[in-house]
Structure 1
């Protein structure tokens, strides 16, 4: 294995060093980010009991994490390109550890709010730093598979914020559990700082608005986003909030069965992330573009949502798991963008993409709720089937234009290539006859 002091060109670390010095430290940061992001769902009863928080305060307390997370994306992207993932991630995780520690010691809503914002700021670069590091050190042929592993680790972190966190609360109170998580976050920061390789030197571009516009103007970035952004935001928004409510209202699952099915769906995310990465890697070996693989997955993903619109009752439970399983195809967006844009823009491209996905996911979550609000819930606060059919119908209608444009472009490109080949053949035949 390479020593920590040895310098290696990008993409040329030995395989063992790539796993232990690159993937493992940054994946642990992403794991903690997903765990801490979703922990409040389990901690809510303890927070209410300890501080008497209202439902409004709980909502604000959870959302401020995402607000700080979103604000941090573009500055972190610029920093990643300029200073490298090791320096940026190790510093941000110290900030995150401070936020978690302050949250564990908070005695008022204002104190918890500030701590939660600091936490979101510190964890805002976990996934992007991992993407930047992987894009630097992992060979291009293996990139999609490794991105899949990274997304799976994030799914494992979110799963750890459910039943495992509940078990930890039986051994300690919420303050003790969060204090332990603060220590774990600090240890991961030290691991990244001491163990991850420094990024190879690269020319620094001036940090200007024009340099950010270059990302959005990049043809490969625009082609990827036009196809995948909306499905990605639908997956993130629905899986993170509304899929459980839909199962409770439409399928009428009891709480125990609902929790089991949601856990199964989280397992499907992990399996899907790994499987999709492997599928894309094998397809690339056969000369198939990763974007084409993603397009096939998105077709199935939208078809599942069409089944929701039609309320295909005999298979709703299976479809709910299929939604999370096939939805992992949207995670290929990160790998496609990182492979397509110039290396000097990789960090900024990843964070610009993350910002778009994050904003879109909240628009999906809020918009879905607005559509449901046009119907009156019953005494048990359950919305009728028609409300969910309308909401999913709107989502399908929003995603279809991107799919149509993609396949039209592919058809036109294939037709142009076929015409060019026919002209070349004709010219060759003519020259032979002469």
Structure 2
């Protein structure tokens, strides 16, 4: 963690201290400073690039991988869950979105804990809690039992991404943050991809209950790795009170501008990608479960490419004087255009629409880069807290609300809901996102 009064410093001249994959410094051992670090660059200079990768990036990225896998796995398991519990679209949406609600409720206490004790101390017990939730889900037999278990999973995984962001913000120089955070989001994309076709293949050898037993074991193992490998956190100055810190974050002009433009699209991306894209491919496009699993896999694989591309484009644009918020605006416009294709029920290529949604939607992850580069370092954990709180509350509302809209129509004799139900739901989402984009365009034009 960094001193409250510090401002982001320029990256150190030693490339080994500037980020992932840099050549190792003369010594790969951790050098503990005698005083608190005053900047990300100072913290980064205490670890070689190789050590940062092995002890900081890799273990926390595995936690984010697991979080994304468990967040999106219900999109693949939906047919089995519906068959086992006779769920309506509204119940399926509520069951799956319980993850987001619990995830959001975890943000405030986790953000405080990260700033006080550091991600290496906070994250392992939370992963153990997620493992307990996975065990409960594997043993659940009623809708209520699975709902509670799903919420416990979300609560336990509520710190995975924030911990990773806090760790890399501490140990990696600011100039490298956009690309390294892009790699982190790409690892999350791998996790989401693992929740599609690989999970579908695993179901040939086990049922969904057995799958969750394996996920529980994975959560415990990753928690152990983080505890064993995470380096000791740099000393930190006294933090402001929670409410004061939250007010400072929400009042910061960069945070408010970013939230107005990107927040709603990000909630749409999380809420739809984690469940309803798969149901749309089944109900509207009428693809088989195997075909849906394959298309979901392609879509999640596209997240990996998209996340890395967004990081690279942001850095490239920054070198040419283009602010990340303008990159975000262009991406949000494309994302809304893709959703208009769903509204119009664009028949020429249902497959292309489903993949484009996840590919273009990755631009919403640029929020974390904007926050990390714009706010004081001492507020990094709580800034991520504020952002995640809003994102996952919104994702809960989107995922549950989408199911309620679709459920306003009756299914046919085969159990498929009509295209009109999805068109109406996507149209509502587009109407919710347009005001933020229009406001930004008008404001940008006024500034010129």
Report the TM-score when normalising by structure 2.
0.82
User: Which of 155, 164, 177 is the equivalent residue of 1:121?
Assistant: 155
**Structure-2 change in CA distance of 1:112 and 1:359 (3 Å):** closer
* Cα deviation code 1:37-58 (max 9, x no counterpart): 3445666788899xx7564897
Question: Is 1:144 aligned with 2:144?
Answer: no
Question: Is 1:16 aligned with 2:42?
Answer: no
Correspondence for 1:425? none
Q: Which has the higher helix share?
A: 1
How far off is 1:63 after superposition? 4.7
Mapped partners of 1:413, 1:333: distance in 2: 22
Q: Indicate the SS of the match to 2:412.
A: coil
Question: Is 1:410 aligned with 2:444?
Answer: yes
Mapped partners of 1:368, 1:218: distance in 2: 32
Correspondence for 1:310? 344
Mapped partners of 1:372, 1:105: distance in 2: 29
Is 163-172 or 253-262 further displaced after alignment? 163-172
* Cα deviation code 1:21-79 (max 9, x no counterpart): 21101001111222233445666788899xx7564897776454433322211110111
Residues 33-432 of structure 1 aligned to structure 2 (within 5 Å): 33-39=67-73, 55=87, 62-101=96-135, 115-168=149-202, 177-414=211-448
Mapped partners of 1:326, 1:358: distance in 2: 19
**Do 1:78 and 1:207's aligned partners in 2 also have CA atoms closer than 8 Å?**
no
Is 169-178 or 16-25 further displaced after alignment? 169-178
* Cα deviation code 1:247-295 (max 9, x no counterpart): 3333333433333222211111121111111111221122211111111
* Cα deviation code 1:127-183 (max 9, x no counterpart): 110011111222222211111211121121122233333444555666665444434
Q: Indicate the SS of the match to 2:237.
A: coil
Correspondence for 2:29? 3
Q: Indicate the SS of the match to 1:251.
A: coil
Q: Indicate the SS of the match to 1:203.
A: coil
Report the TM-score when normalising by structure 1.
0.84
Q: Indicate the SS of the match to 1:311.
A: coil
**Structure-2 change in CA distance of 1:92 and 1:373 (3 Å):** closer
Mapped partners of 2:212, 2:338: distance in 1: 38
* Cα deviation code 1:97-124 (max 9, x no counterpart): 3444555566887776665444332211
**Structure-2 change in CA distance of 1:276 and 1:208 (3 Å):** closer
Mapped partners of 2:135, 2:289: distance in 1: 32
